[in-house]
Amino acid sequence: MKKTRRKAPKLRMINRDGGFNVVRIGASNYRWRDPYHLLLTLCWYKTLGLISLGYVLANAFFALAYLAGGDGIENARPGNFLDAFFFSVQTMASIGYGAMYPKTLYANVLVTIEALLGLIGLAMATGLMFARFSLPKARVMFSRVAVITPYNGMPTLMFRVANERQNWILEAQVRVTLARSEISKEGDVMRRFFDMPLLRSHSPLFALSWTVMHTIDESSPLYGVTPEVMIEDDMEVVVTLIGVDETVSQTIHARHSYIAEEILWNMRFVDILSKTREGRRSIDYSRFHDVMPIGD
């Protein structure tokens, strides 16, 4: 009976949203041990939800503490949780008491502690919001597919990169790596990485579009590779871009990857650069991802 080789599962190191596509098995939930990093990386609605939940729970805790001290709040209904809760809100936010105010030593001590913790919490929440707003993020667009097409008589891997902002990315650098699965002589499966030299890996001023090219010659890790081999060996082209955003003068970075099914052979990108009637250079982003067969 003829045995067929089982194909390796299709893997992607980098998701379409830029996230790291790895399932951690047996590792502790380290994210909750690093709350600052967790709050920086969570989406906005989850961050605001956690802050709101913490605020409500803190005020509920102090409300119960005020109730435990007996009738310590003037003009509050004895034993009423809502009165104690809203008194705690006024204290923590330094709003001003109005009708309710502490009248016992126990209540005044709690007010002192809560006011101090409220100031610390306000400072931390303000710093967190500022850190999230000021966190530099790249608005870099990668073509949905890469192509392998002749260039100067040599097969060349190409893909497009564009700056979506209307400013400059200074000293932009691109690095491309090929990831593939290999089996050692002992039968161990390993994920190996190979650098892919580029015709131009550095751009002093990156503003519009950049076609990144890697020549497939004898020194290339793609030399002699066919589409079937790329799928069988679970190959993936990993791309990283780093540069300095001119507006904020901070380093930004972007990442992307192309699996074997997203690398098209004997195709080329549609030309998107042209000039207007006034002689100005224009770029058509609506055709940024479009390809066409060689010779058309």
pLDDT tens digits, 159-174: 999 988 888 899 999 9
What is the structure's pLDDT at 94? 79
Q: Residue 55 — pLDDT band, cuts 50, 70, 90?
A: very high
- List the domain boundaries for the chain: 30-134, 140-293
pLDDT category of residue 17 using cuts at 50, 70 and 90: low
Q: Output the pLDDT for position 1.
A: 39
Classify domain 140-293 by CATH number.
2.60.40.1400
**What pLDDT, on a 0 to 100 scale, did the predictor assign at position 9?**
45
Q: pLDDT for 121-137, tens place per residue? A: 889 888 888 888 887 88
* pLDDT given for residue 7 in this prediction: 45
Average pLDDT for residues 57-76, to the nearest whole number?
90
Average per-residue pLDDT for the chain = 85
pLDDT of residue 76: 84
Mean local confidence (pLDDT), 243-272: 90
pLDDT at 114 over 80: yes
SS3 273: strand
Q: With 90 as the cut, is the pLDDT of residue 269 above it?
A: yes
pTM here?
Answer: 0.72
4 vs 176 pLDDT, higher one: 176
Averaged pLDDT for residues 88-94: 87
More confident residue, 202 or 13: 202
- Residue 10 confidence (pLDDT): 55
What does the pLDDT look like over 24-54, one tens digit per residue? 665 556 666 777 788 888 888 888 888 899 9
For domain 30-134, the CATH architecture is Orthogonal Bundle (1.10)
pLDDT mean over 239-263: 91
> Is the pLDDT score of 271 beyond 80?
yes
Residue-level pLDDT at 61: 94
Position 22 scores a pLDDT of 61
Q: What is the pLDDT of residue 33?
A: 73
Q: What pLDDT is stored for residue 216 in this prediction?
A: 94
**More confidently predicted of 157 and 164:** 157
Per-residue pLDDT reduced to its tens digit, 206-227: 888 899 999 999 999 999 999 9
